[in-house]
Homo-oligomer: A and B are copies of this chain.
Amino acid sequence: MESLPVIVESKLEMRKLSRYWKTKGNIIGFVPTMGYLHEGHLSLVRAARKRCDKLVVSIFVNPTQFGPREDLEKYPRDLDKDLALCARESVDVVFHPGESEMYPGGFQTYVTVQDISKPMCGVSRPTHFRGVATIVAKLFNMVEPHFAVFGEKDFQQLLVIRKMVEDLDMDIEIVPHPIVREPDGLAMSSRNVYLSAQERRQAVCLSQALTAAQDIFSKGERDAETIKAIARKNIQAMPLAKIDYVELRNASDLSMVDKIDCPCVLALAVFFEKARLIDNCILDPGSGRYNK
C-alpha cells in the first residue's frame, strides 16, 4: 500500500522543502499539471521519477492561460483521485497552491515569449502562452527543480517553455516526453472528457490525419501544402470535426516552411463542439524514421 504524497499549499513551504532536499544532495524533478491526471500525465511522472531523488507534481488550474470565453470554470478537477494516482507513482510532494497564493491582488507581471507564441494555438488563444510562461516561471521559482518534464502533445507549449528558460537564463533542464495515446490513436487529454460518444469516435481523425501525412512523407513527399491537404482531408471526413488549424512548421522555432528540409512539426487543432483537441507529429527528413 502506498502512502499518500505530502501536500504542500504554501509557496514558501515548497521552496523551503526543496532547498532542504538540495542540502542533502538530492536531484529534484518536477511535473507541472492542471490536475485531472490521466495516463499522459502519469507517463511524464514516471519519466521524471526515474531521473530524480525527490519528485514534485504541481496541480493548479491556471486562470491566466484561459481566454475569457474558454473553459476555466468547467475544466475537470478531481483532487482525491489525483492524489491516489500520485501515491501510486511514488510522488514525494503534490504542490497544490490556492489561487490567491499564486495570484494575489495587484498581480501584474507577465512573461511573454513573442514569436513562438503567435502562430498555431496563439491565433485563437492570443494570451494563452503568456499565461503558461508566467505560471511556469512562478512555479520554477517556487519549486527550484533541477529538471521539469513537459509532454510533446502540447508541442508549442514545450517550445515556449524551452525558449523562456533559455532567454531568461533559468538553470532548469526541460525534458520532453512523447505523446501518450488511447488504443485507437487519440492523444490523451483532460479535455477528452468533453466529448460525446459520437464525437469520441470521430476524434480519432486527428491521429489518422497525422498517420496519413507520415505515410506520404515516408514515401518522399516534401511539399508542405500537399502534406497539409492530406491531413485536412482526413479531418474533414468527420462531420462533427471543425478544423481550427492544420500547420506544418519548423520544429525549432515554428517558422513557416514550404518544403520539408529540416525537422518540422505537423500540428493540428480541431473543435468538436465544446472540446478543442490538439495533436502533432514530427516530420524529420534527416532521421530516416518519423515519430508520432
Contact = CB atoms under 8 A, between A and B. Distances in A.
20 contacts: A11-B169, A15-B171, A106-B163, A107-B167, A108-B113, A108-B114, A108-B116, A109-B112, A109-B113, A109-B163, A109-B168, A110-B111, A110-B112, A111-B111, A111-B112, A111-B168, A137-B168, A138-B169, A141-B169, A141-B170
Contacts of A112: 109-112
B168 A141 contact: yes
Q: Which of A11, A114, A137 has the most CB of B within 10 A?
A: A137
Contact of A108 (B15, B134, B167, B171): B167
A142 interface: yes
A164 interface: yes
Nearest to A11: B169
Interface of A: 11, 15, 106-116, 133-134, 137-138, 141-142, 163-164, 166-171, 253
Contacts of A170: 141
A111 B113 contact: no
Nearest to A165: B109
Given A107-B167, A109-B133, 20 more contacts: A11-B169, A106-B253, A108-B114, A108-B163, A108-B167, A109-B111, A109-B112, A109-B113, A109-B163, A109-B164, A109-B168, A110-B111, A111-B111, A111-B168, A112-B112, A134-B168, A137-B168, A138-B169, A141-B168, A141-B169
Contacts of A163: 106, 108-109
A108 B253 CA distance: 11
Nearest to A130: B112
A169 B141 CA distance: 6
B171 A141 contact: yes
